[in-house]
Amino acid sequence: MKTNKRLLFFTIILALIAIGLFLGDSQSGNYTSILLTIILATFASIYLYSYKDKFRFNIIVWIMMIIVAFLTQFAFLNNLHITASTLFLFMIYILSRFLFAFLLTLTAAVFIRDLNDFNYILVKPTKYTWLIILLVLGISLFYWVAFFPAAMTPDSLSQWRQAHTGEFDDGHPIIFTWLIMFLVKIWNSPGIIALFQILVVTSVYGYAFDFLLKRKVHPLFLGILTAIILVIPSFTIFSIIIWKDIIYSSFLLFFTVNLAKLHFSKGNWIKSRSGFLLLLLSAFGTAFFRHNGLPVFILTFVLLIILFRNKWKPLLSIFLIVFILERIIAGPVFHALNVKPSDPNEALSIPTQQIANIIVNDGDMTKDERAYFDKVFPIELWKEKYNPYNTNPIKFTWESYNREFIFKDTGLYFKNYISIVLKNPLLATEAFLKQSSLVWQVTTFKDGYTDTYVTNVYYGNDLGLKNEIISQKITNTSNKYLAIFKQPVFSFLWKPAFYHCIILLSGLFLAIRKGKKSLVIIVPWLLNTLSILAGLPAQDFRYLLASVFISIFLIAVPFIKPDEEEHSL
């Protein structure tokens, strides 16, 4: 009788998935995709039915599975037309997608839980670490030679100019500007910054793999991950672009590896001098190389001090060193150097887009509210300049966008903003989903896009900087190779949300195999992603490059050898 009920249960689940997907996706005419989805769901159901006695997970894991299933299916949602249907059809469609994602998530969870660690003891793991470092360094240097001396955008040029004039602007972290100033004393070329970035990225990759090798993760598994880094350009091509995001992303991976060392040693790793200094260095880089890194650092360390209460002294020492240093630099040092403050309007990207979408679609608002937003930015310009995925056309219309008026009374701004959002929840939600799509969406909306990377110095710049051809053959080969990964079939590789799905699944597997406390390892990634979500100005892949770097590490962490003293590594 129980068997018949269980069979009926899975049959109903499959029926709901089939009906819901057909109602939601049939308008696109992609029946092949619907059929494949149903086939996958059927195989997952058969697998789960066969292992019906193995659904023993704690409540935290079940909650995580629900969250992971919802977010991963949401990442592949790109047909907002379904919202125009009846509420009943919309709910059936969303339910079917969730059930499909949950079936796959539960199947993966059961499989991973019962999978062996396949631990393998290497006699000389350092030898393999150096091999990985040399391979990553080789492919990175190949790109460097191909696009010598570096790739630069207006943001890059801005910091290059500041480094040479000494006229500082906090629009970009001053630490990175100072780094450029120091490096160009050695060689006054963008090439040295790109080379430095290559060395940093490669070193951090090596540091991460060294930890995994010494924790007995099978070298064959790590060989596959190394091959992924070498083959997929998103892991290496950014090293040649002079952006603060490259160094910051490297430090966030560095920070994440150190949290893994801290966790798996039960805090003992930080008792060593090297552990203390390495955590201090990674915390410093996280806090200083991008503005959103400071809250990531602060909140992570608050959590660490709570979780590792018996090691609170070294943790609090690191926190105070970095925090006080940041306050000194942001205060007296900025004042002495006459550093121009950053534009506070950068924090208003999401509200700007929601206001614009409501105005463009003639949403509900009072005459006073309309008059207020007309003073912020003329109504006709709201409609003309609105880009659902980029706030720059609005905020960079300097002569018309009235920043001073906004910040003269921010309370009034948010009062009017909240009022029109509450009156127009669907328009506000639509604007938020499109503006934040870089964070959560793998399959983009029809009008969506992602800015990925550049390989040239910004054309027509007034600094006289340009690319030089060292080897035409290497340049041509690199361009042809990169073009392969620009094909539509590989578009998912240029969506940060794809790597977010990997990290979410890895976090789930980590909780299943190593316990819920191990989730502290993904906290820096989570905080970084949420901070970007809150203030995303445009669809630039680099904003979430850290997710790419961290994903390749977290894939392997659930399979490390447990219960080993980390301070000896």
List the domain boundaries for the chain: 1-113, 125-341+461-559, 344-440
pLDDT exceeds cutoff 90 at 11: no
pLDDT tens-digit readout, 354-379: 999 999 999 999 999 999 999 999 99
On the question of pLDDT at 113 being above 60, the answer is yes
CB atoms within 10 A of CB 429: 15
- Percent of the chain with pLDDT strictly greater than 70: 93
pTM over 0.95: no
| CA distances (Å), origin 330, targets 173, 306, 334, 339 | 10, 27, 5, 9
- Farthest CA pair distance, the chain: 81
What is the token pair recorded at 58?
């704690």
* Residues 315-350: tens digit of each pLDDT: 999 999 999 999 999 999 999 999 998 888 888 999
Q: Which three-class secondary structure state does DSSP give residue 117? A: coil
Confidence category of residue 92, pLDDT binned at 50, 70, 90: confident
Share of the chain above pLDDT 90, in %: 75
How much is the pLDDT for 79? 62
For the beta carbon of residue 231, count every other beta carbon within 10 angstroms.
12
Is the pLDDT score of 199 beyond 90? yes
Q: What is the pLDDT of residue 30?
A: 64
**How confident is the model at residue 33, as a pLDDT?**
73
511-525 pLDDT tens trace: 999 999 999 999 999
Rounded distance between C-alpha atoms, residue 164 and residue 492, angstroms:
39
**Average model confidence (pLDDT) for the chain?**
91
24 pLDDT tier (thresholds 50, 70, 90): low
Q: What is the 3-state secondary structure (H, E, C) of 190-206?
A: HHHHHHHHHHHHHHHHH
Region 148-167 average pLDDT: 95
**Tokens linked to 76:** 């592949």
Flag whether pLDDT at 566 surpasses 80.
Answer: no
pLDDT, one tens digit per residue, over 462-502 is 999 999 999 999 999 999 999 999 999 999 999 999 999 99
Q: What is the mean pLDDT of residues 431-457?
A: 92
Enumerate helices (H) and strands (E) in the chain, giving the number of each.
Answer: 26, 0
> What pLDDT is stored for residue 361 in this prediction?
95
pLDDT at 354: 97
pLDDT tens-digit map of 405-436 = 999 999 999 999 999 999 999 999 999 999 99
Instruction: Please name the residues in contact with 277: beta carbons below 8 A apart, sequence gap of 6 or more.
Output: none
